[in-house]
Amino acid sequence: MSRFIWQGPWGGLEVKARDGAIVASRFIASSPRPAPAPLPAPWRRMDNLPVALTGTGFQHAVWQALAALGWGATTSYGELAHQLGCPSAARAVAGAVARNPVPVLLPCHRVVRRDGRLGGYLGGLHRKKRLLAWEQASMPELPTIRIIQCE
C-alpha cells in the first residue's frame, strides 16, 4: 500500500493506493492552498482516475452518482435518491454519502440539504465551504473518477 499527502483548498488529504488504484482518503490537519498541488504520478496525467471501493450495491450506485456530478454543481439527497429510482430513499442516500471512502475525489461536498443549506460534511463544514467556493471560482482540474467495485 502506498500513500501520499495531497494539498489543496481542503487542507491536507492523505490518499492511500493499492495496485494502481486509490482505495481511501482522509482529511489531515494542514493549511489550505488556493489550488490543489498536482496529483503525484501515476495519476497526474490520467484521463480517468481508478478508485477501488468496497461497499454495498446501493452504496456503489450512490458513489457512481456522486462521481457524475458536474464541477461546482450541487444536488440534494432527495434528488440523488430520485435519480437512482428510489425517491423515498433520501436518508439511505445520505448514509451512503456519509460513508464516502474517498472525500474530495468523490464529491460528497456537492450534496446539500433540500432547502439549499449546506448541511454537514465529514471533513467539517469549513472544508465544504472552501471546496464549493474553489470549484465555483475555477475550471475543472481533477480527472474523472472510474470506480472499480471491490468485493
Instruction: Give the pLDDT score at 47.
Output: 65
Assess contact for 104 and 131: CB atoms under 8 A.
yes
The x, y and z cell numbers of residue 66, run together, are: 456522486
pLDDT at 64: 93
The confidence band for 52, taking pLDDT boundaries of 50, 70 and 90, is very high
Class of domain 2-30+42-150: mainly alpha
Per the annotation, the verdict on 86 as an active-site residue is no
The active-site residue out of 108, 111, 131, 147 is 108
Q: How confident is the model at residue 10 (pLDDT cuts 50, 70, 90)?
A: confident
Question: Do the Cβ atoms of 148 and 64 come closer than 8 Å?
Answer: no
pLDDT digits (tens, 9 = 90+) for 105-128: 899 999 999 898 998 898 899 999
Mean pLDDT of 18-43: 83
Secondary element (H or E) of residue 89: none
* 14 phi and psi angles, rounded to 5 deg: -85, 125
Q: What is the pTM of this model?
A: 0.87
The pLDDT of residue 35 is 78
Rounded (5°) CA angle 116-94-118: 25
Question: Do the beta carbons of residue 62 and residue 111 sit within 8 Å?
Answer: no
Q: Is the pLDDT of residue 41 over 60?
A: yes
Domain borders along the chain are: 2-30+42-150
Q: Which of 41-45, 65-69, 79-83, 134-138 has the lowest mean pLDDT?
A: 41-45
Q: Is the confidence at residue 42, as pLDDT, over 80?
A: no
